[in-house]
Every structure is written in C-alpha cells, then in structure tokens.
Amino acid sequence: MADLFGDLAPPTPPAVDTPLADRLRPQGLSEVVGQDHLTGPEGAIGRMVAAGRLSSIILWGPPGTGKTTIARLLADAVGLRYAQISAVFSGVADLKKVFAEARDHARTGRRTLLFVDEIHRFNRAQQDGFLPYVEDGTVTLIGATTENPSFELNAALLSRAQVLILHRLDAAALGELIARAEIEVGRDLPLTAEARAALIASADGDGRFLLNQVETLFAVDLSEPLDPAGLSALLHRRVAVYDKDREGHYNLISALHKSLRGSDPQAALYYLARMLTAGEEPLYVLRRLVRFASEDVGLADPQALVQCLAAKDAYDFLGSPEGELAIVQACLYLATAPKSNAAYKAQKAAFK
C-alpha cells in the first residue's frame, strides 16, 4: 500500500475516465481562476512565490474555489516537499507520522509543505500539536477551511499563520472553466446562451459543482442545444449550502438584515427563501423580524411590529408550508417600510 504521507509520484497524464474536474486541475498558479487578488503578482501568494519564501497560511473560502489546488501548486512553485492529510480521516497517530517524516526530510535540507484539509475539524489539543513544528520550520502549514478561522482555530495557531480569504468564483471565472472544459472534450457545451448563463448562475460560485454539471451535459446525447427550461429539467437543482449553527447561518441572517435596512425587498426575499428552503426554523426567522420591526422601523411605522406578531400567530396557526406566506408578507412589509432607530437609540441612552 502506498505511503499516504510520502512524496508524490511524478505527475502522469490523467486517464480518460478521470472526472472532468480533476482533468482540468491547473498546472500552475497562473492557471487558477477567480483568485487573482491572491495569486496575481500583487497578491499575497504571488508575492511569496516571487520572493521564494512561503509562510504558513490558512486558506478560508467556500467549497469549489481552489483551496486544495493552490496548496499543491504552492509546493511546486517554491520547491517544497508536499504532504497532505485530511482532518476528517486523520488522528494523532497520523499527525505524529507526518511530522516524523517531515523532520527526517528537514535533516537532509528539504522542507515540507503540509496541507491540512478541513483543518477546523481538528480539536484544540490536536491544533496545538502543530505549533512546535511550525515554529521550528519543520513544516510550512497550509490549512484549508470553509469555517471562520476566528471561531474554529486556536489563537496560537492563527498567530503563526496568515489567513487568506478565497472568493466565490464570479461569472467570468466560471465561464473560463466552461471554456476549458469545451477544449478538453473537443466540442461545445450543448446549451443556448441563456441556458449557459443559467448554468453559471446555478453554480453559486462553486467551480467543482459547475464542472460536474458540465460533465453530465457532455455525457448526455442531445439532438439540439438545451434552453433554460430543458436544462432545469435535466439537471438536479443545487442543494442550498447552509448550516444552522455555523458560518452560513450567521452570514445569511446578516444578509437578510442588511437587505431589510437597505429597503431592498427582492434581496430580502431571496435571503429569506435561502434560509427557509435550507431548513431554518421559521420561528427563529420570525424572532429576528420582530426585533427588526422594533429596532430599525420603530416609530416610523408602528404597524410593522403588529404585522410581524400577526405573522407569528398565522404561522403558529397554519404551520408549514402555508404559514410561510405570512412570514414573506412580514418580510416584504419591513423591507418597504420607512426606517427609524430613534427608539433604539433612546433606550440605549436612557439605560446608560
């Protein structure tokens, strides 16, 4: 059995049956799409590579944005040995083994870049185990996480690494991935221009998801290009990415609040739908709307609070899904209502 933590074998051309996303993995940092703020000449990673010196890094970003690819390419770019583990499948014994191997290689003058996928899955004690090896240069740590490092990683570990944020891939970057897939396969994607735009929008910035959908489309024998309706009928809908007690939860409720404060009913309804369809507890959303009615609408429209409490009563009476219409009504009322936080400010001043 091959050593999980040993040196990587020389790269070989991908097999024909290799998933399209793997066949299209970039071979150099210049081929990474959508992260120019990091990998470009003026980006943090670009500057490190140009200097030939790499510090420990935590790559924080959504799935399918290139964290694993960037880590692998960084090792090649600065001439480090590459080792990879996943916090999901690894324990203390695995960590001891990879550190021992890295120390052996360090004695011969060859440093190791250790890529830890899902690093937030390690507990605090396991994270502390990285500290001496990072400090003495045995390993250069590259951690990848989809969760906020400030919440999930030890302060001691964060003080020894830079946190670099990867963005969701924009439409241009996703379009570039489709173009590369078409070159790889040797034919155009069987979609109309409108369906192509719908496919890009459905990916929600996830390059891996997009390429998996593209691979499905290439595998289907189609007599003519699909329009948006045909595309929707053929491909499954992307499952909403949401966690009820972690980063996604707080990001979406924050986005809902900002949309309401900005009097943007379309955006507010979008974020409300994202939460409810992903399984958020409707009563939690109602509590936030009631609070918003008092804090941000207040005396500018006292009926806002009445509307939200009525929506709560309607939901208690009807349940889901019928009662969710009352939540939508309250959300749209708040978004279009005049705003005033005078009562909120007065309370804060009086309670000092």
Res 333: pLDDT: 97
DSSP letters, 268-293, are HHHHHHHHHHTT--HHHHHHHHHHHI
Q: Is the pLDDT of residue 6 over 50?
A: no
Mean pLDDT, residues 295-321: 95
Separation CA 173–CA 179 (nearest Å): 10
Task: Select the more confidently predicted residue: 248 or 8.
Answer: 248
Mean pLDDT, residues 194-198: 93
CA angle 172/213/252 to nearest 5° reads 65
Res 3: pLDDT: 46
Res 9: pLDDT: 47
Interior/surface letters 159-183, b for 16+ CB within 10 angstroms, e for the rest: eebeebebbbbeeebbbbbbebbee
Q: Is the pLDDT of residue 239 over 70?
A: no
DSSP letters, 307-319, are HHHHHHHHHHHH-
CA 57 to chain centre: 17
Query: What CATH code would you report for 247-344?
Result: 1.20.272.10
Mean pLDDT estimate for the chain: 89
Confidence of residue 243 (pLDDT cuts 50, 70, 90): low
Angle between helices 282-292 and 265-277 (to 10 degrees): 150
Res 235: pLDDT: 83
What single-letter amino acid sits at 226?
A: L
- pTM higher than 0.75 for the full model? no
Question: Under a CB-based contact definition with an 8 Å cutoff, are residues 98 and 129 in contact?
Answer: no
Please give the share of the chain, as a percent, with pLDDT higher than 90. Answer: 67
Separation CA 296–CA 291 (nearest Å): 8
Residues β-bridged to residue 191: 226
Q: Which of 20, 32, 18, 17 is nearest to 212 (CA)?
A: 20
The CATH class of the 20-165 domain is alpha beta
Confidence of residue 91 (pLDDT cuts 50, 70, 90): confident
Separation CA 347–CA 294 (nearest Å): 11
Mean pLDDT, residues 228-238: 81
Residue 223 CB burial class (10 angstroms; 0-12, 13-18, ≥19): exposed
Q: Note the residue count of the chain.
A: 352
Q: Which phi-psi region, left, alpha or beta, contains residue 64 (left: φ > 0; alpha: ψ -120 to 50)? A: left
Residues 227, 275, 247, 268, CA torsion sign:
positive
CA 6 to chain centre: 29
Structure tokens at 100: 């021992």
Sequence-distant (6+) residues with CB within 8 A of 23 are 14, 184
Q: Which of 142, 163, 160, 167 is nearest to 72 (CA)?
A: 142
Residues 123, 126, 131, 133, CA torsion sign:
negative
What single-letter amino acid sits at 204?
A: D
